[in-house]
Structures are given as structure tokens and as C-alpha cells.
Amino acid sequence: MNSIQSNQPRFAAAIVDLDGTMVDTLGDFQVALNASLADLGVERVDRTFIEQTIGKGSEHLVRQTLAEVGAPADRFDEAFERYQHHYQRINGKYANVYDGVVEGLVRLQASGLKLACLTNKPLAFARTLLEQKGLAPFFQVCFGGDSFDRKKPDPLPLLRTCDALGEAPSRVLVIGDSVNDALAARAAGCEVVLVQYGYNHGQPVADVDCDGVIDRLDAVAIA
């Protein structure tokens, strides 16, 4: 399925994920994470490990990385502080907006949908990245992984974002790149489509329970 179609428009808003959906940030993660590991005096991790691990928030990424390199778990606070430091320093420098994203956001906005960005990335980093890449003006609200008590795949962030948009979940389309987005959307009562090019923990996105898989963000149909 390459689009969602119906005889009548049924969405009033869309919630769009950031990393792996709008922006390829794998380069940022790789540089910041390995710089923090160098500060700790431990070995680096490769790009494949990072790609398969990102998506559940910075804390999860750092904890999994420490386990991967055999570093003690009690070094988490130190590692997380260094990771935050380095990510803030290079945020957006090694990241690129995917083809079709701007065109897709223009179409969604022109169709009258209210747009929100919801990501597991810390909010400050998310806002900076959206500003740097010229995407911030599209969004009425933006929430990050530290905006609520829980992160995706828990439905709480989606439900709170729907509240902020003033729309019932059944009227909101979720656009993401991984099973985290799909699970959160299903639990919240939103329809969800996934881009096929993102970060889905190394698993085929076609295997995820969702309402459609699209090649580019501008392939989403809302009518």
C-alpha cells in the first residue's frame, strides 16, 4: 500500500516523526556517540549498531551502547553527559532532509491539516534540528522524548499531542519510520503510515502492522 485513500477527507491533523522520517540523522548519532565513547576511553561502535539501536530515546541508546562495548552500567551518567555535550555541539551538521519531505509537508499543510512533530529525541535537540533544516515553520507544536513521562512506543506522547492539536486520535494520521511509531499509533487509536527508508531496528518495515508503507513523505494521500 503506497497511500491512504478514502472518498472523503478524514484527517484533521498529522503527527510526524523526525529521525528516520524527515531527517537522516544517523551521521549525527555516529559522531556524537563515538566522541562520547572516546571521552570514556572505550572502543567505538559501528554505524550498523547505531542504526539498529536508535529510535527509543537517548537514554536507551547510551545504555545499549555501554553494554555493546562492555563498559560498566554505572558509567551511564558520565556517558550520557558526554553524549549530550557532543550531540549539542554537532546537532544537524551530519544530517540531511530526505527527498520528498518538504514537498510532503507542503501538501499536508495546503490540505488544511494541523501538523505536529513528535520524536523520542530530546526536545531541545529536535527544535534546533527543525530550525536548522527549515522545517520548523510547518509545525504547530513539537514534542520530544523528554516532554512526557513516557516515550513511544507508549501511546501517551501521541495522546498528549492529539490533545495539543485539539483533535481526537481517530482524526489524526501518524507518519513514522518504525515499529515504535506503529505501536504507539495503534494503542492511541490513530491510523499510521511508515516510510520505508528509515530506522526500524534493522527489521523490514513492511513486516510492521500499519496502514501503509510509502516511498517518500509526499506519497501520503489524505483524501
Give the pairing of strands 96-97 and 23-24. Answer: antiparallel
**Cα gap 160→53, rounded to integer Å:** 25
Report helix, strand or coil for 115.
strand
Report whether 192 contacts 185 (CB < 8 A): yes
Residue type, 188: A
* Cis status of the peptide bond prior to 169, with omega within 30 of 0: no
Pick the catalytic residue from 17, 19, 177, 181: 17
Query: Can 17 be counted among the known catalytic residues?
Result: yes
Look up residue 196 and give its DSSP letter: T
Residue type, 90: I
Long-range CB contacts (within 8 A, 24+) of 176-179: 176/16, 176/17, 176/20, 176/21, 177/17, 177/19, 177/20, 177/21, 177/205, 178/17, 178/20, 178/55, 178/205, 178/208, 179/153, 179/203, 179/208
The three cell numbers of residue 115 are: 501538523
Give the pairing of strands 172-176 and 213-214. Answer: unpaired
Residues known to be catalytic: 17
